[in-house]
Amino acid sequence: MRRGSSDRVGAAHPTGLTAAERERIASGAAHGDWLTLGKSGRLSLYAPTDEGLLRWTEVTAGGPEWSGPHFVAAPGLSHLAVAQGPDTYVHFLGRRERAAADGARSVDIVHAIQYQTGLAFTDWRSLGNPDKDREQGRQVGAPVGAIAPDGTVHVFVRNAQRGLSLRREGPGGKWKAWEDLHGIGIDALCAPVALATGRIEVCAAAETGVFLWRQLEPGGDFTGPRGFSLRPAPGTVSAVESGPERATFFWTDADSGGAAAWRVGRWPAVLGGSPADRPYAALRTSLDGYDCVVLAYRDRDGSAVLGVGGTEDEDNGFWWYTLAESCQGAPALARDGHGRVVMALIDPDGVPKVARQENTAGLTFGQWHRL
């Protein structure tokens, strides 16, 4: 595997750096919404590093200056995912590996929250492991989060049996027990999406195709998994709410090598582009008065790629642009405090870079800014 292609915390840093420089270097890209917009209108960017994570924050809404990095300790963290709810609280989920008293390794899932932009995190809380057997528990996958409109946190992981497990908050903030949502042979990372009506849907690539789980009502049980004979490439599935009570899922098609968009009740739409090697970053936004979806991904050569097309209008084409930037892991997309699209990536040397939408027709980014 080429250096910089892993999103595992603790990947090798560039050599020849001082200790102070290493403290500012990310070890990859986090999973999920690692570029977030707070109530203050300021963006924050989060990236894993050795024994914790780093945070950069805009000094004023809309930039261009950023403060940071601020280091948050998280010993033993092997994977980091970031999710944000409508209340703008930022949730951090990690897969933690630790040595027990007898020297054996154990794995648990941990959770922390940042309530306000640029301020402190809560302590890391262990959510345990869906597999009670310690040896089997070491096979649990990385967590993925979805935050319902009422703020309820949902944590999904692939369990040792390669099915899907869920742990979520109950009334009053007390966590419910782990739930087995079943499935078999699923990919390491599922793609949940929280719909504005309160329901959550989850899509996962599997050895036999695609599995889909759906809540029938907000806060309710999950039905499924329902299987579909489709061919997504593992590790590339992502999701966006594309209409009332509708989610569109994006992935790289294993047969054609290009991007595909799929909604329940229709065949996948072919979008073109080169193969991705991580999940797509997906953002729904308005461009020149049109409802659009912006996609960003890392291709197999390590280059960042950007795509734009009409929301639920895939048949009219997607426009792809290979950027002159290389990155680790998947890029991130968000809107800043002025509504402009911002793209972030972690470059091969572990340095975050951001580019902001210019005031022109279509979607054009200005100069990349190293944090």
Reported as a single tens digit per residue, the pLDDT across 31-51 is 999 999 999 999 999 999 999
**Residue 305 confidence (pLDDT) above 90:** yes
Banded pLDDT at 171 (limits 50, 70, 90): confident
Average pLDDT over residues 358-369: 94
Minimum mean pLDDT range among 98-112, 190-204, 271-285: 98-112
Residue 10, Cβ density class (10 Å: 0-12 exposed, 13-18 middle, ≥19 buried)? middle
Residue 49 CB coordination number (10 Å):
25
pLDDT band at 18 (very low <50, low <70, confident <90, very high): low
Under DSSP, is residue 315 helix (H, G, I), strand (E, B) or coil?
Answer: helix
pLDDT band at 253 (very low <50, low <70, confident <90, very high): very high
E strand or H helix at 277, and its extent? Answer: none
Lowest mean pLDDT, pick from 119-123, 126-130, 172-176, 249-253: 172-176
- What is the gyration radius of the CA atoms in the chain, in angstroms? 19
Tell me the C-alpha distance between 112 and 207, whole Å: 32
Comparison of pLDDT for 23 and 262, the residue scoring more? 262
- Token pair, residue 3, equals 């250096």
Contact predicate 299/305, CB 8 Å: yes
Name which of 151, 153, 206, 216 is nearest 182 in CA terms. Answer: 206
**Residue 23: pLDDT band by 50, 70, 90 thresholds?**
low
Q: Does residue 19 carry a pLDDT above 80?
A: no
Percentage above 90 pLDDT, the chain: 88
Q: Which two tokens stand for residue 267?
A: 């065949």
Overall average pLDDT of the 252-269 stretch: 95
Write the DSSP assignment of 219-250 as a string of letters: T-PEEEEEEE---BPTT--EEEEEETTEEEEE
What's the average model confidence in pLDDT over 2-14? 40
pLDDT (0 to 100) of residue 11: 41
Query: Looking at the domain that runs over 19-370, which CATH code has it been given?
Result: 2.120.10.10
Q: List, for residues 155-168, the tens digit of each pLDDT value.
A: 999 999 999 999 99
Distance of CA 137 to CAs 37, 176, 191, Å? 35, 19, 22
- What gap in Å lies between CA 311 and CA 215, rounded to an integer? 23
Q: How far apart are CA 308 and CA 299, in angstroms?
A: 16
Distance CA 90, CA 97 (A): 23
What's the order of all strands across the beta sheet hosting 259-262?
238-243, 246-252, 259-262, 269-272
pLDDT of residue 105: 87
pLDDT > 50? residue 4: no
Average pLDDT value over all residues in the chain: 92
Query: In what order do the strands lie in the sheet containing 153-158?
Result: 144-147, 153-158, 164-168, 179-182
Q: Would the pLDDT of 323 be above 80? A: yes
The pTM assigned to this predicted structure is 0.93
Nearest partner of 167 among 146, 191, 185, judged by Cα: 146
